[in-house]
Structure 1
Amino acid sequence: MRSPRLAALELKRFGRGKLPRAALVALLLLPLLYGALYLWSFWDPYGRLDKIPVALVNEDKGATVGGEKLQAGDNIVSGLRESKTFDWREVSPEEARDGVAKGRYYLSLTVPSDFSERVGSSSGENPETGALQVSTNDSNNYIVGQISRSVFSEVRRSASKKTSRTFLDKIFVSFSDIHQKTEKAAEGADQLEDGIGKAKKGAGELATGLGDAKNGSKSLKTGVDKLTTGANDLKSGSKQVADGTQQLADKVNLAAGKVRPFFNEHGKQIGDLSRDIVTASNTMTTDLNKLPERAQKAEDDLRAAAAFASGLYASFCEGGPKADAVKIDCETAKKHVTNMNNAATTAKDFNALVKDHKNVDQLKTHVAALKKMAEDLGEKAPTLGQDLDASVKKINELNKGAKAVAKGASDLHAGLTTAKTGVSSLDTGIGKLSNGANTLSGGMYKLVDGSGELATGLHDGAKKIPDYDKDQRDLRTDVMADPVQLANQAMHKADTYGTGFAPYFIPLSLWVGAMVSYMLIQPLNRRAMAAGASAWRIALAGWLPVAALGVLQTAALMSVLHWGLGLKMERAAGTIGFLLLVTACFTALIQLLNARFGPAGRILVLALLMLQLTSAGGTYPVETSPGFFNAIHPYLPMTHVVEGLRRLITGGDLGVVWTGCAVLAAYTVGSLALTALSARQKQVWKLDKLHPELSL
């Protein structure tokens, strides 16, 4: 009998009675329990996070920053409620702690009382970070804790971004303020440069003026020295005058006592003598008027005579043409020539003195005064006695005044001595001021150059300092608050969590279905073995019915996943065809283990399932597993099944699929060959077959 017929007969056994038919239905639906039911349970868990109760505690008291009220905690709470990430429930801190501990809440988020104050401190002198407090309890659910870390990382990033935007906006506003202040400073530097230029000019003028003042102070010092010397002379002279007037007064008083009787007796003769003096004064005045003419004539005559004498002397005594003709006493002649020259010089000096009208005028004045006094004396001669008394009185007053003058001269000398010291200090001080002014003038030149460089630098700096308007600030704060954006380009993206895990649970379901099927169907067809059929026919007769059931299981599972749960397959036909090959491989491999090892094979099937599940990389990348699982990963069929289904369901390179097909085909053929070998060995009855060590 052929293998397909034997397989059909094996399946017909399930149509005999209700219980076998129920068992057949159970076999067909069993993969749904592992595949569809598992995937359904967490098909889209992230889409239902809003059903997870989470405690939310807002203790933030707010803060005042820059004169504005900041309620960062309320903003966080409002944003969380709008996001609907979890089922947020605002409770007290005590309720949150108790609820997380007892499992009423999976976790809690607490906004501390100083949160706004810390957030607002970023623009102050002592910036601090604001900390959101998260409390989890892994005894409630470990996965929720992992999910919360991702969610709260996003919450923290969003809050940090808002805080950074506020801080950076203030920085950019400060840039604008600095720009404006720098421009004003540059304008001030320009004005400073102009002012320093004027100051430079003034410093130069000051240096020049102090130089002149130094010269003036020097002259003043010299003048005061002279005044001091003169005052000293005046002091001495005035003392002598005072002494003289005292002596004069003494003598006058003494003489007046003797002369007064004479004046009274001889007044008439004195009057006559005075008139004679007036006549003589008139004659003297006439002679004085003729004196310049006569002095000039005398100078000319004496100069001519001196010149003539000098010529004669030269002719006779100094090798002239007459030196040998006449012998004279040259030494005596030289003395006469010298005397004549001296007389000519004296006449010249006298003429100069006469020409200096001061002396002549003074003499004329004195003569006129003498004449006037003589006239007065002539008039007053009769009353000379009385006048003498008046004169004596005046001389006594003169004496008294001379003494006062002497005392004043002494005081003047003392004052000028003090002034001399002050003027000397003034001269020294002005000298220092002059040196300082010269130094200042030189420094002003450098200051002018420096102020010019300062103005230029401030203008250049103002150009380099940015001055952003509101739109530019908003753009830059957005970029700098979140400078790195994650450009997440998902190739062949899985729409749901269940879609991503389907390549892992589908082969698990088919393996379990094949494993349970061989609990009800013999791996080696007893009828074929009893009939002495060939080993290949026996192997195929035991494999085909389970493979057929696997096809039905695959159809049922994929129908429910596609139309029930909404699984979308990028390559639906390829997925179905690949799963049929998977079913053939799994059933052949499980048949081999059951046929070769008997009841112990069921344990090996389960163990092999565990090894494949842990090394296939269906959940986490296999690289995150210990080295043992990495070592067996490439050699187990489920590894290739998971990787192939990922490419077929979500899309991708088909090279992995074709590799998987080759591996699965090799496993299928190899397993069937080894099963045939086991069937041939089973056809020989042995003692251990009659009395097995273990029976299940």
Structure 2
Amino acid sequence: MKRILQIYKTDWINIFKVPIALFLIVGLMALPSLYAWFNLKASWDPYGDTSGIAIAVTNEDEGTHIQKGDIDKRINVGNEIVDSLKKNKKLGWVFVSKEEAERGVNHGDYYASLLIPKDFSAKIATILEENPQKPEIDYSVNEKINAIAPKITTTGASGVVAQVSENFVKTASEAIFTIFNEVGIKLEQELPTIRNIENRIFELEKRLPDIEQAGNKALAFEKKLPEIRKQSEKVIELEKKLPEIKKAANHILILEEKLPKLKEVGDEILVIQQKLPEIQKAADRIVEIDQNFYKVESTLNKAIEDAKKAAGIISSAQQALPKLEQIAKDGSDFANGLNEFLQKNDGAFESLAPIIKQNLLLLQQTADAVTQITETLKQANIDPKPTLEALSFLQDRLSTGVKVIDRTTNLLTKLNKYIPNHPLDHTITRLHAVKTNFEKQISTIQAIKNTIERGEQPAKTIVDNLNALSKDASDALGGILSRYDSEIVPNINKALDQLKRSAQNASDVLQTAQNQLPDIKAILNDAAFGIDFGQQELIRLQGNLPEIRAHVHEVAQSIQEKMGRLTEGINAAASFVQNDLPKLEPKIHQAANFVRQDLPRAEQEVHKVSNLIQTKLPEVEAAVHKVANLVRQDLPALEDSVRNAADKIREFEKTKNLGDIIELLKNDIRKESDFLAHPVLLKENKKFPIPNYGSAMSPFYTTLCLWVGAILLVSLLRLDVEDPKGIYKSNDIYFGRLLTFLTIGVFQALIVTIGDMVVLGAYVADKLWFVAFGVFTSIVFMTIVYTFVSVFGNMGKALAIIMLVLQLSGSGGTFPIQVTPPFFQAIHPFLPFTYAIGLMREAVGGMLYDIVIKDIVFLLLFLGAALLLGVVLKEPLSKSTQRVTEKAKESKIIH
């Protein structure tokens, strides 16, 4: 604890010693607050002054003249709307022509436009007609200008519609109740007529049984319609099948045309039947390979063991070279030392020829593997993922092959100097050509990979080019291998013998022997590289052996299982060719003649019958259904209505007085119309009132600025401590410097929370708790961000920024979390912002202590997790973090 406090004390002494450092620290304390204040001020009351939002209004309403009964009036609702908007200052209404409105909205001069069409008043007047039409106001909005303005303009446009609707309801209801008033007066005059209608209803009630009997007959006929429809649908279904029938008929004609070729195929089947014994022998050979596969494994294991031995021999020779070079430098006994070296390491030189041959064989296998994958690339639908993996693997093998060719040609070039007439020139030239070929294959494969990654099919030309390159490389390597044992090996041995003889005879000429040492060293290095390549390829092949063995075994089992069925199938096909095909041929000709001569006439008849069913039958069905539906649906309702009407009249006459109804229709017109225009009033009850939008957003921006402040500190201040004596442990440095960061973080929280209330005048219900919660949140955030960077270095800064980005959308600070995508809803409970913003909101709007306790507990969990992470991982990862930091500094762009 003493060392931690010493680091903390030293930090502040150093800060106060350097004025510019003190100025920077004070700036870091205040800078996050500016971020919060500017954003809060900008969003303080975004809807307080919308009069500058220009909305174009065009009135083309021509008005209308209403003549209905006693109504004779000229109206123009469009002019009334314009007059009302001129008095409305909530939005910037601009009254322009239709063309100007369209131009202005397109170019952003107006956020939206309202067009009152010519027939607006005329459609409103249709309320008095049998089929009323709803009038429309054309609303256009330019949503690309601003994200919020369209919402405001839409609200303004809806307000216009609501105002027109309210006025219309009030006016219409006044007219309706006026008519009711008049109806009440006229009812008194029409009482005799009403009594006459009552008598007719009672008469109709008596005749209902006769009507019901007629309806039952219509229903009985309707029940037979499905059977009629079922029979007719068979004809229609037959017509639908005609294309398939014609298609099948065409296949019969094609079959007739292909009969000669079928006979040829039959002859081939008979030939295959004769060769079944040879096919059986080949199958048995594969089974034999499967049974003796262990010999392949044994041979490969021996090859790997031989390669290891060769590598050991060459490694021993390489280890002995420095001693020989030292002897050469000393000058004395050099010739004896050289001879002794050559004698002891003679095995290393003898392994050169087998190593080169082994590597040439592996290079040829690489070329053949590229040839095989080109067959896959020619398929119509290739699977991108495994194909890309195979191409990348072959690219790596080709790149390694280029290096192997370089080392091999260097080795052969050095050996070639020691042979008269340089007989290895042709081999070296061919290897250079193979290297160029491999490089072209690498670039071609990369182009194919790029095409597949774009989701496209590789072009046939580029695949064919890769196929040709791989085959050329394989042929070239095969040519070298074909004369390797007979020509190249003797020349390699001759060169090695000459090199050894020159070295053994070098006792008289010391400088000549010293000049040969680089050749010996280069030959051994090239041989070591070749063995290493061969070992890797053999080990890779050994790793693939189980899979190869499984494939061979699978093929062998498949052959054993299916060979019998194959033989049976071929024998059955041969029997069909010999016995059934000659009988089938006349029947095919007979069917083909029917298709050519009789099928067209039958098709015409089917079309005629189907057309009659489809055109006339629906009309008959519709008429029957209409009558039946009337019986099923309307007749019962009609009967019920008639009976109910009769019952109601009888009941009404017993309990009600028509005079009372007439008096009801004479009620106050204005009061009733006002009730219809405003039937329900909204009584608002605000639980936790916040007077403005800026105060409501202060929890989010205050919390956000505290996280940003923590990121600023870890980006600008050092997290390591100078310790020339090495007295501080990792945890001492972690907690000592953490106290310094927390002190600055506390001041950041004090400045922003007090500034929210004093500088901006933000509303806060519990001011002291608002400041306290801000300080607590800053401590939690600073500990989290500090621990990330202290433990993980620059990667920790990236983690802090990633968490900031996720928390902006996933914390519910601006929009409700329920309207965000599922991903952010899923991570919402695991983000510190979620609980920090909730805690600050409780202080702003009014606290519920159970919510406060929950948020504090979760923030304490985040704080504890961060401290645990720092204590557990700081020391184990300190060296790794330091190395990563030093490597990053080497870029001269990352500090």
TM-score when scaled to structure 1? 0.57
Aligned mates of 1:455, 1:681 — CA distance in 2: 96
Aligned mates of 1:462, 1:181 — CA distance in 2: 12
- The answer as to 2:155 corresponding to 1:150 is yes
Aligned mates of 1:690, 1:170 — CA distance in 2: 84
Is the CA contact 1:540–1:672 (under 8 Å) kept in the aligned structure 2? no
Measured after TM superposition, the shift of residue 458 of structure 1 is 12
Is the CA contact 1:186–1:455 (under 8 Å) kept in the aligned structure 2? no
Aligned mates of 1:161, 1:543 — CA distance in 2: 65
Alignment-mate amino acid for residue 822 of structure 2:
G
Change (3 A) 1:538 1:61: same
Aligned pairs for 1:377-392 within 5 A: none
- The answer as to 2:57 corresponding to 1:52 is no
Measured after TM superposition, the shift of residue 640 of structure 1 is 0.8
Change (3 A) 1:626 1:162: same
Is the CA contact 1:538–1:676 (under 8 Å) kept in the aligned structure 2? no
Equivalent position SS for 2:657 = helix
Q: 1:354-397: per-residue Cα shift (whole Å, max 9, x none)?
A: xxxxxxxxxxxxxxxxxxxxxxxxxxxxxxxxxxxxxxxxxxxx
Is the CA contact 1:616–1:633 (under 8 Å) kept in the aligned structure 2? yes
Equivalent position SS for 1:617 = coil
Aligned mates of 1:650, 1:453 — CA distance in 2: 64
Aligned mates of 2:759, 2:85 — CA distance in 1: 33
Aligned mates of 1:541, 1:679 — CA distance in 2: 13
Alignment-mate amino acid for residue 589 of structure 1:
I
Is the CA contact 2:30–2:748 (under 8 Å) kept in the aligned structure 1? yes
Is the CA contact 2:697–2:814 (under 8 Å) kept in the aligned structure 1? yes
Aligned pairs for 1:123-162 within 5 A: 123-162=128-167
Aligned pairs for 1:264-413 within 5 A: none
Aligned pairs for 1:2-401 within 5 A: 2-17=3-18, 19-65=20-66, 66-186=71-191
Is the CA contact 1:518–1:591 (under 8 Å) kept in the aligned structure 2? yes
Partner residue, 1:362: none
Aligned mates of 1:571, 1:81 — CA distance in 2: 44
Measured after TM superposition, the shift of residue 622 of structure 1 is 1.1
Aligned mates of 2:106, 2:856 — CA distance in 1: 51
Equivalent position SS for 2:789 = helix
Change (3 A) 1:690 1:138: closer
What is the aligned counterpart of 1:503 among 660, 674, 699?
A: 699
Equivalent position SS for 1:568 = coil
Measured after TM superposition, the shift of residue 76 of structure 1 is 2.1
Measured after TM superposition, the shift of residue 137 of structure 1 is 0.8
Aligned mates of 1:548, 1:645 — CA distance in 2: 20
Q: Which runs of 5+ in 2 are unaligned?
A: 199-648
Equivalent position SS for 2:686 = coil
Alignment-mate amino acid for residue 796 of structure 2:
G
Measured after TM superposition, the shift of residue 534 of structure 1 is 5.1
Change (3 A) 1:165 1:691: same
Is the CA contact 1:115–1:130 (under 8 Å) kept in the aligned structure 2? yes
Aligned mates of 1:192, 1:150 — CA distance in 2: 52
Partner residue, 1:622: 817
Q: 1:321-365: per-residue Cα shift (whole Å, max 9, x none)?
A: xxxxxxxxxxxxxxxxxxxxxxxxxxxxxxxxxxxxxxxxxxxxx
Aligned mates of 1:30, 1:192 — CA distance in 2: 88
Bigger Rg, which one:
1
Change (3 A) 1:535 1:485: farther
Q: Which runs of 5+ in 1 are unaligned?
A: 194-451
Q: 1:276-313: per-residue Cα shift (whole Å, max 9, x none)?
A: xxxxxxxxxxxxxxxxxxxxxxxxxxxxxxxxxxxxxx
Is the CA contact 2:91–2:156 (under 8 Å) kept in the aligned structure 1? no
- The answer as to 2:521 corresponding to 1:521 is no
Alignment-mate amino acid for residue 481 of structure 1:
A
Partner residue, 1:382: none
What is the aligned counterpart of 1:572 among 748, 767, 788?
A: 767
Q: 1:632-675: per-residue Cα shift (whole Å, max 9, x none)?
A: 11111101112222222112523222111111122123212322
Partner residue, 2:658: 461
Partner residue, 2:856: 661
Change (3 A) 1:544 1:186: same
Change (3 A) 1:662 1:192: closer
Q: Report the aligned-residue RMSD.
A: 3.2
Partner residue, 2:689: 493
Is the CA contact 1:179–1:462 (under 8 Å) kept in the aligned structure 2? no
Equivalent position SS for 2:153 = helix
Is the CA contact 2:792–2:877 (under 8 Å) kept in the aligned structure 1? no
What is the aligned counterpart of 1:641 among 836, 849, 860?
A: 836
Is the CA contact 1:185–1:458 (under 8 Å) kept in the aligned structure 2? no
Is the CA contact 1:595–1:678 (under 8 Å) kept in the aligned structure 2? no
- The answer as to 2:711 corresponding to 1:481 is no
TM-score when scaled to structure 2? 0.45
Aligned mates of 1:186, 1:494 — CA distance in 2: 63
Is the CA contact 2:50–2:90 (under 8 Å) kept in the aligned structure 1? yes
Q: 1:562-620: per-residue Cα shift (whole Å, max 9, x none)?
A: 22322111111111111111000000000111011101111111001111111101122
Aligned mates of 1:506, 1:82 — CA distance in 2: 40
Is the CA contact 1:63–1:71 (under 8 Å) kept in the aligned structure 2? yes
Is the CA contact 1:538–1:679 (under 8 Å) kept in the aligned structure 2? no
Percent identity of equivalent pairs: 26
Measured after TM superposition, the shift of residue 684 of structure 1 is 5.8
Change (3 A) 1:664 1:189: closer
What is the aligned counterpart of 1:603 among 793, 798, 802?
A: 798
Alignment-mate amino acid for residue 645 of structure 1:
M
